[in-house]
Amino acid sequence: MKLLTTTVLVVGLCFGIITESNACSRVTYTSEDGSVVTGRTMDWFKPDDVKLNLFPKGIEYSGLGSNPLKWTSKYASLAVTSYGFVNSGINEENLAVDVLYLEASNYGDLQPEEKTITSEMVTRFLLDNFSSAQEVADYFENEKFRVVLDEERAKLLGAPITIHYIVTDKTGDNVIIEYIDGKVKIHHQKGRIVFTNDPEYDKMLAIKDYFKEAGIEGGMPGSSLSQARFVYLTGWLDQMVNTPIPEITKEIPEYTFADQTSAMILSLMRGVSTPYGIVFDTEHLNNTSTLWRTVSDVKNGVFYFDSSLLPLTFKVDLNQVDFTKPKVVSPYKDHIPQGDITDLFK
């Protein structure tokens, strides 16, 4: 009884850190054979006109304001755009990038002579300019621009675009980028990792460590709170196998370990998703439906898009894509059948 009381008390204290935040989740899975697979959910209180975009390299981009950061993309990429900006993607160097909501984000005050970039354009900047997590860490540890909020873009989203970022490369190296109290904070970690929303990552790790030390992280009750999702995903991710499951490979002809790991992560992201069909709640953003999910097989260069609005899953093999040709595919408006849609990007 004492243990139960203590646990309930700590759960209340931990979960009391947060007010409301969007309920996106992101994981990185790694295995002994070098497999690296990422998965994420996109949860929000209103549906969007989501698209799959192929961006060639050599495109010029610009930030916002009188002194915008400008760059020309070094790498081509395949990305999911929603609400007019890139939410998830992978570039031709197999660097996977995702952005999730973080209400605690504070980008600080603009200083004279600083170049500017909007918060949502940072995702595009990461895909365009980097091939490894280490490159990202080295660059962002010395701030070279000021992140600012785009108020017009926020109207499409329905909220200020206060976000944090995660990149994963084909070695399984991860970098998380947050802006707290006006300063950039970098978290660099290799291997399996879980990433959700508020509170900031340092505080989230402290919550996770409590449950791990208590030995109950695998038995957490379900909740849309970002702390609960963080602990829930950590418990399940830690238990995922490192090797092929013989019973499955016997039943499915030509079933590879790459197929298995992508399916494992997709099942994990479906399991942590908030059901589609609940009433969209604009006041409590923890209680918003999962609109779609992505899975990136970073080792092998395969990207999956999984819709909640329609029972459809799409696959793109980046090894067969023509990265020199821009392309936009709408999973909802183009009436394409589910399955392998790589041919649409050739």
- Provide block-wise average pLDDT over 10 residues at a time, the chain (346 residues): 34 40 84 97 86 97 92 98 94 97 92 92 98 97 89 80 96 97 95 91 80 62 75 89 93 94 97 79 66 97 95 96 96 91 96
pTM: 0.90
Residue that the structure tokens 């243990």 belong to: 3
Locate the domains of the chain by residue range: 2-345
Give the per-residue pLDDT at 135.
98
Q: Which residues contact 243 (CB under 8 A, 6 or more apart)?
A: 31, 32, 33, 257
CATH second-level architecture of 2-345?
4-Layer Sandwich (3.60)
Q: Answer whether the bond into residue 331 is a cis peptide, omega within 30°.
A: no
The four Cα atoms 49, 319, 314, 48 give a dihedral, to 10 degrees, of -10
Q: What is the CA radius of gyration of the chain?
A: 20
Give the per-residue pLDDT at 162.
92
E-only strand ranges, the chain: 25-30, 36-43, 51-55, 60-62, 70-72, 77-82, 85-91, 96-101, 116-118, 146-148, 163-168, 173-180, 183-190, 193-195, 290-297, 302-307, 313-317, 327-329, 339-340
Buried b (16+ CB within 10 A) or exposed e, 31-64: beeebbbbbbbbbbbeebebbbbbbbeeeebebb
Q: Which two structure tokens, joined as six digits, stand for 46?
A: 């209103």
Give the per-residue pLDDT at 5.
31
The helix or strand, by DSSP H or E, that contains position 233, with its residue range, turns out to be: helix 226-239
Give the per-residue pLDDT at 218.
55
Give the per-residue pLDDT at 153.
80
Give the per-residue pLDDT at 38.
98
Give the per-residue pLDDT at 222.
62
Give the per-residue pLDDT at 7.
36
